Amino acid sequence: MSVETKNNGDLFDNNVVDCKNNGQHCDEIINKDDGSVGGVDVNDAFTYGRNTASAYSPNHQSAPTEKYASHYKMNHQKRGLAMIFNHEFFTVSHLKPRSGTNVDCEQLVNTLKDIGFDVNDFHNSTHKDIVKNLERVAEMDHSNHDCLVVAVLSHGELGLFDAHDTPYKADSIWSFFTSDKCPTLAGKPKLFFIQACQGDRLDGGTVLKDCTETDGQPSAPTFRIPSHADFLIAYSTIPGFYSWRNTTRGSWFMQALCIELRDNGFRYDLLTLLTFVSQRVAVDFESNTPDNITMHQQKQIPCITSMLTRLVKFTPKNCVANSARSPST
């Protein structure tokens, strides 16, 4: 689907959208908190999952950051790896080429390199190749790395991304990097940036009038973290909705993300920065298709899912932000 959009008064460009139990009741499990006597903790599931037993076999890994540090440690020898899976062409006949995605990829490669990442970009990968590369990176030793970045630029729909040859489940991308499967990234941020549709709904937006006014505690020797802690997943759009891409300048989300990382990557923590990414996408971009009223003046808002436990603030390698706060009482 091709439409035109306007962006801050620029000339109209061609834009498109990137769409596409075992029967036992749960018993109560008694937990202890720092040795104190407490109540009984129960879960809100109807049945135990098949992998429940794994919860009782935690991996032991040295914590990369103090227990109550406010920031993730960013003074390792290397920033870390960044993987970009860029998809322009597909073997499935109904999936059209994603013109403009190579602009996104090039901008993201350069931006991440400027922050200090070692970047690997993969183009039109099959699902088998995607799995192979994710497994390879998950098996590496990341002990000297600050964090990990994975970006996917493709068609998609709710819960699915499209590889060159077939769709695959979205959560399979980050499942390789949980702390039990990739222990050298345990306690470190794992950051995922997704440019893809999550459905086929449109957002017509709401008109607002502009309003202008004139006027350090010591850490415990060991502590346990959830396997899915320290993840951040930034989608270009909210579940169920289209994600827009300009065939000349690239997708709205990736344009905004690269601008903010380039201009403010060392100034703000990542969640603050992503708030301004959302602001750019929400305010600066709007589709312009007067001949197609359904697609005319449509909007988009990114969706950020954070399981981070500290602030992510990129710093030059000779500067560290790793202050500690007091534990809750």
For the question of residue 142 being annotated catalytic, the response is no
Question: Three-state DSSP class for 168?
Answer: strand
Up-side HSE of residue 294: CA atoms within 13 Å toward CB?
6
Options 19, 105, 182, 197, the catalytic residue: 197
Q: How far apart are CA 237 and CA 20, in angstroms?
A: 13
Residues 6+ apart with CB under 8 A from 293: none
Specify whether the CB–CB gap between 71 and 311 falls below 8 A.
Answer: yes
Tokens at residue 201, please? 């709904």
Q: Catalytic: which of 155, 164, 182, 258? A: 155
Residues linked to residue 14 through DSSP beta bridges, in sequence order: 4
First and final CA of the chain: distance in angstroms?
A: 55
Determine the Cα–Cα distance for residues 319 and 174; give it in Å rounded to an integer.
29
Q: Round to whole Å and give the CA distance between 205 and 182.
A: 41
**Could you tell me if 145 and 78 are in contact, meaning their C-beta atoms sit under 8 angstroms apart?**
yes
- 79 burial class (0-12, 13-18, 19+ CB within 10 angstroms)? buried
The residue among 1, 95, 2, 4 whose CA lies nearest residue 290 is 4
Would residue 197 show up in a list of annotated catalytic residues for this protein?
yes
Residues with catalytic function: 155, 197
